[in-house]
């Protein structure tokens, strides 16, 4: 039997992995905005990328809750 990709036992209101999947381009655009917002200082590309992922996931969760 195949395993489910749903986390947390499938309770109502919980997200599946696929529902929160972000495209590379979406994250890249957001990371670039983060980079520009901190005056385009080099050397923090990973931090910018991770912040972009957090912001986009938070935004997606907020849209789903409304």
DSSP assignment of 27-48 equals HHHHHHHHHHHTTT-SS-HHHH
Identify whether the C-beta of residue 16 lies closer than 8 Å to the C-beta of residue 9. no
CA distances from 38 to 3, 18, 66 (A): 43, 31, 30
State if pTM tops 0.85: no
pLDDT of 1-59, one tens digit each?
555 444 444 455 555 544 568 999 999 999 999 999 999 999 999 999 999 999 999 99
Domain boundaries along the sequence of the chain? 21-65
């Amino acid at each position: 039997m195949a395993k489910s990709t749903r986390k947390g036992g499938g309770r109502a209101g919980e997200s599946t992995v696929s529902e929160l999947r972000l495209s590379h381009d979406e994250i890249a655009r957001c990371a670039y905005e983060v980079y520009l917002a901190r005056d385009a200082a080099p050397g923090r590309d990973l931090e910018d990328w991770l912040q972009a992922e957090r912001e986009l996931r938070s935004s997606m969760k907020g849209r789903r809750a409304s």
